[in-house]
Amino acid sequence: MSSEINIQFKVQPGGSLHGNIRVPGDKSISHRSIMLGSLAEGVTHVSGFLEGDDALATLKAFRAMGVQIDGPDDGKVVIHGVGMHGLKAPVGVLDVGNSGTSIRLMAGLLAGQGFDVEMVGDASLSKRPMRRVTEPLALMGAKIDTGEGGTPPLYVHGDSPLKGINYTLPMASAQVKSCVLLAGMYAEGDTSVTEPAPTRDHTERMLQGFGYEVKRDGSTATLTGGGSLKAADIDVPSDISSAAFFMVAATIAADSDVTLEHVGVNPTRTGVIDILRLMGAQIDLINEGEVGGEPVADIRIRSSKLKGIHIPEDLVPLAIDEFPALFIAAACADGKTVLTGAEELRVKESDRIQVMADGLIRMGINAEPTTDGIVIEGGQMAGAEVVSHGDHRIAMSFAVAALRTQGEMIINDCANVTTSFPNFVSLASDAGLKIELMD
């Protein structure tokens, strides 16, 4: 979405949150359902699909490569798979907007196709590092050119025979792991990826769901090239990254009691729950079950008095997208919260460490960015005008901060909230946040 119009959130201070809330479908699973459903044999039915800009960018890209996809209609999508080798060269470039997941995972899939393709993105995506995927793909025999400095656009040259590799990730990244495994389906022999710390495993789970065997041995995932995918039905659970804003909101706002329904609680994604509990939050998982290989639960959160902690580094990859919201929790906690081992946050949709620190400082909070994290001293937040730099998670985090500020919050540059959470303002407003959308 163009950020030329300044979409603003204006949020009045105070309030408490109540009720049952169903946040939109999981972004990671929505992306992967389109990719694997398109390459499967047969028809895949998806429900709970996230109709946000990022997941829609993936859907449009596969349509542009000749896949018939019906919907989305109220979260329902029907994908008429074309098989592993049925994609066709798109007419023109594939524009994936703001979506890092689309460009990095599709780089792996497209490296195995018989045609050339160019992928581009918006101004924010065009600054994000791509060598982390192009380097392992080159080791497999792929030919991919990047823009200057290793950023998009990506030019993927088809008809390059791929061979399997054993790749050890230099840093924990689900996107890089997924990219290499997806390319591995088109490679000769075995492809294995070893990660230094656990990251989200939606790709491995969904490959299994589509009948493609993935062997797991400790921190290594391995698959053999040349297999096929069989259509499967997918019920996408609610996205824990979107639920995180309401978890923090209900924790910091007085007299709050909120239940978030049908949330994906994949153990590679629940760092936000573990970190909030360590800070003293009252969070209960109820109605636990499993849908399509993915664990789900309702999550009940009540107001709590938080204390500052040193965040354990082993939880960092399990909460990487939730830190902007967690920084607001830290600003409301007694004492100091210290985050280390999170340099990845500097190359997200924005430099999330710096942008959050800048905003918190404007709000009167002592926040010191470090190369790989931040130190936040809890205190009384003042209302302020802050800039989200087009980063959806920053915008939503500062919005929930208003529950504990002494004056109103004005957040600029919020258009990209539609990438992950199109109905954020209406859901938050219904639950008790005093938020308005201005442009």
Give the pLDDT confidence score for residue 347 in this predicted structure. 77
What type of residue sits at position 293? G
Domains delineated in the chain:
8-25+237-438 (3.65.10.10), 27-229 (3.65.10.10)
Bridge partners of residue 11, in order along the sequence? 409, 435
Please write the tens of the pLDDT for every residue from 342-369.
998 987 878 999 999 999 999 999 999 9
Q: Is the pLDDT of residue 2 over 70?
A: no
Which pTM was predicted?
0.86
Taking each helix axis from N to C terminus, what angle separates 352-362 and 392-401, rounded to the nearest 10 degrees? 30
Whether 256 and 303 have beta carbons less than 8 Å apart is answered as yes
Give residue 205's pLDDT band: very low, low, confident or very high (50, 70, 90): very high
Q: Judge whether residue 99 has pLDDT over 90.
A: yes
Residue 227 has pLDDT above 80, yes or no: yes
* Nearest of 24, 75, 426, 433 to residue 260 by alpha carbon: 24
What is the Cα 283 distance to its own chain's centre? 22
Cβ 303 vs Cβ 16: under 8 Å: yes
Give, rounded to a whole angstrom, the gap between the first and last alpha carbons of the chain: 14
Give the SS3 label for residue 306.
coil
* Four-residue CA torsion sign, 371, 377, 378, 381: negative
Q: What is the mean pLDDT of the chain?
A: 95
Query: What does the pLDDT look like over 308-325, one tens digit per residue?
Result: 999 999 999 999 999 999
Asked if the model's pLDDT at residue 245 lies above 90, the reply is yes
What percentage of residues in the chain have a pLDDT greater than 90? Answer: 92
- pLDDT value, residue 1: 38
Q: Answer whether residue 293 shows pLDDT above 90.
A: no
Q: What whole-number distance in Å separates Cα of residue 41 and Cα of residue 217?
A: 28
d(CA 398, CA 9): 9
Q: Tell me: pLDDT of 158 over 80.
A: yes
pLDDT exceeding 70 applies to what percent of the chain?
99
The residue-averaged pLDDT of 171-192 equals 97
SS3 273: helix
Mean pLDDT of 161-168: 98
Looking up tokens 């709970």 gives 48
Buried b (16+ CB within 10 A) or exposed e, 6-23: ebbbbbbbebbbeeebeb
pLDDT in tens, 370-414: 999 999 999 999 999 999 999 999 999 999 999 999 999 999 999
> Which are the catalytic amino acids?
321
Q: How far apart are CA 40 and CA 97, in angstroms?
A: 25
The residue written with tokens 């938080």 in the block is 306
Contact indicator for 413, 438 with CB cutoff of 8 Å: no
Q: What is the pLDDT of residues 104-150, one digit of tens each?
A: 999 999 999 999 999 999 998 999 999 999 999 999 999 999 999 99
Closest CA to 25 of 241, 208, 200: 241
Contact indicator for 137, 117 with CB cutoff of 8 Å: no
User: Cα separation of 378 and 393, whole Å?
Assistant: 20
The model's confidence at residue 153, banded by pLDDT at 50, 70 and 90, is very high
According to the model, what pLDDT value does residue 419 have? 83
pLDDT value of position 4: 57
How many Å is the Cα radius of gyration of the chain?
Answer: 21
pLDDT at 3: 42
Compute the distance between CA of residue 238 and CA of residue 20 in angstroms, rounded to an integer: 13
